[in-house]
Amino acid sequence: MKLNLFSKKTTSGYYERIKAECADLARQVQEAKVAADDARADYEAKVQASRDMEVRYADKHFLTEQESQARRERDEAYNRSEELRRKASELEHKHNSLRRIVEAPVRMDEVKQTIAHLRSERAALSDEAAKTEGLIAKLQRRVEDLEQRIARETQAASQSMVAADGEFVMPEALTRLDVELRVTRATLAERQSKLTELKDALELIPDQVRDAQRTYGSARAAVAEIELQEQLPNWLEVIAMAALSASSDARKYVIEIPREVAEAARAKLAADMPKA
């Protein structure tokens, strides 16, 4: 469901209004946060001033006028700080709600790219895992072959040592085979570890795809709402005429969507959801 706000000659300007309102709210949020931070700093300074005053008059058993004034200023600063913090939080909540709508078209495209990347990554990981499994099988066979050859060479060397009456030089072939076995075993262990990493990465992809598809569905719903708000005003007068014809006080008009239209829309939505 690609957003094209200019596909119709007449639109309500809803999306542009939302973007302008979102930009204005972003400015208000920034200003409110600065004001809240300043108020918090002022409150903390007054807390310290009140404490300093209490220390100064610690030997008195009653509150001096200066202490009372410091406490009043501290409490007023706290109330102002909390009021500005709440205001900033409320503005930020409104801004985030509008930002989700404004960013929905871009978010849809980004999620499509993410899912395409995950699809490519899964194919690459699967291919590398298959190659690694093939190499592991070859290395395992090589280890078995080397172990058998070393066993035979060791037996032969043992007999030679007995026959030589202790005068014996280690056969070069046996030394070479032993080195090759150690290298092959190390390579096998490294490839087995790599295969585990590849399989772990592959196991994460289905959840990542589902998360991306949920994000896409949320963005798509926002885009559909934008398209509806862009076009609905063109139909409001017609709908109002139909509603008022049925009842003079009618403010609502229920429209039943034909089954075939609903099914066609469902199929379109399903086809639009990126697959991985």
List the pLDDT tens digit at each of the 276 positions of the chain. Answer: 444 544 555 577 899 999 999 999 999 999 999 999 999 999 999 999 988 888 887 777 777 888 889 899 999 999 999 999 999 999 999 999 999 999 999 999 999 999 999 999 999 999 999 999 999 999 999 999 999 999 998 888 888 877 776 666 777 888 899 999 999 999 999 999 999 999 999 999 999 999 999 999 999 999 999 998 898 888 888 888 888 887 766 777 788 888 998 899 888 888 888 877
245: in domain? yes
| Alpha helices (H) along 164-273 | 172-231, 233-246, 259-272
Residues 118 and 70 in one domain: no
Residues 51, 13: Cα–Cα separation, whole Å: 57
Residues 110, 212: Cα–Cα separation, whole Å: 10
Which sign, positive or negative, has the C-alpha torsion 267, 270, 273, 276?
negative
Q: Provide the residue type at 2 as one letter.
A: K
Chosen domain end from 229, 247, 268: 229
pTM summary value:
0.69
Contacts 24+ apart (CB under 8 A), 113-118: 114/212, 115/209, 115/212, 115/213, 115/216, 115/274, 115/275, 115/276, 116/274, 116/276, 118/205, 118/208, 118/209, 118/212, 118/276
Containing domain of residue 62, as a range? 10-102
The SS3 call for residue 102 is helix
Q: Provide the residue type at 251 as one letter.
A: R
Residues 56 and 130 in one domain: no
Chosen domain end from 102, 125, 154: 102
Q: Which of 20, 29, 30, 19 is nearest to 103 (CA)?
A: 19
